[in-house]
Structure 1
Amino acid sequence: MNIETLREYCLSKPGAQESFPFGNETLVFKVGGKAFALAAIDSHPLSVNLKCDPEKAIQLREAYESVRPGYHMNKTHWNTVLSTGEIRDSLLREWIDDSYELVRKSLPKAVREQLI
């Protein structure tokens, strides 16, 4: 997956918005004002931080060399995924979906209802 494909997929989520709150190097995708994905614009391979259930985060790190504790993030709840070819794009999309849903579910009910 490349940055353009990642951007297109993240922005296809209901209520998703993009911004550069940390400078021009890091593209942040949010829903309801909370981040669900952060991508390094110029990294090769593509590097993306995704929110993850803590138990699943550990399992993914053990199963894939390209999955690491979240860079500059809470290591319990975030993974950094390197798009080196080890991870299929379809699997990366599933992890983006999981991240989005974890964040969406944490939003107040009134905000969640506006996303439909």
Structure 2
Amino acid sequence: MDGEALQKTAADHAEGLPGAGLEHPFGPEWEVYKVRGKVFMLMTQVTGERMVILKSAPDEAAALRHEHTEITPGYHMNKKHWITLQGGNTIDGTLVKELVTDSYLRVVRGLPKSQQPVDPHAYGLRT
């Protein structure tokens, strides 16, 4: 998946998540997706490469970085809790959507229950 497709897949998926919204608090070159005012995804190409930056559990982040050369520590973010995705051969649309959803749910879990747009423990589960 190239960088353009990566960002389009991530953005399309993020826009469908309950309570998610796009902002540009750092200028037009940064797309920042938030839920209830909290960031769960950033997209930019300020380095010349298109990238998607997502929240991740530290152990999962380490495993993802080990498995995929296109996944690196979070660009300009806490390297332990954030990852950066760039276009490449080992990343597909399914993985991108899973990682966007995981980042979103990590942020939702941190919100007070009254502000959670979905139940983070049940969201996406098939019944």
Would the TM-score normalized by the shorter structure come out above 0.5? Answer: yes
Distance in 1 (alpha carbons) for counterparts of 2:64 and 2:8 = 24
After superposition, the CA RMSD in angstroms is 1.7
- For 1:23, the equivalent position in structure 2 comes to 27
> Percent identity among equivalent residues?
37
Q: Which runs of 5+ in 2 are unaligned?
A: 119-127
TM-score (norm 2): 0.82
Q: Which runs of 5+ in 1 are unaligned?
A: none
CA deviations over 1:71-98 (Å, ceiling 9, x no partner): 0000010000002232011111100111
Q: Say whether the 8 Å CA contact 1:52–1:99 is kept in structure 2.
A: yes
TM-score (norm 1): 0.90
Q: Please list, as runs of the form range in 1=range in 2, the aligned pairs for 1:31-42 lying within 5 A after superposition.
A: 31-40=35-44
Of 40, 48, 54 in structure 1, the residue corresponding to residue 52 of structure 2 is 48
Distance in 2 (alpha carbons) for counterparts of 1:65 and 1:100 = 23
Q: CA 1:3–1:72 in structure 2 vs 1: closer, same or farther (change >3 Å)?
A: same
Distance in 2 (alpha carbons) for counterparts of 1:86 and 1:64 = 6
Hey, which bits of structure 1, 4+ residues long, moved more than 6 A? none
Paired AA for residue 61 in structure 1: R
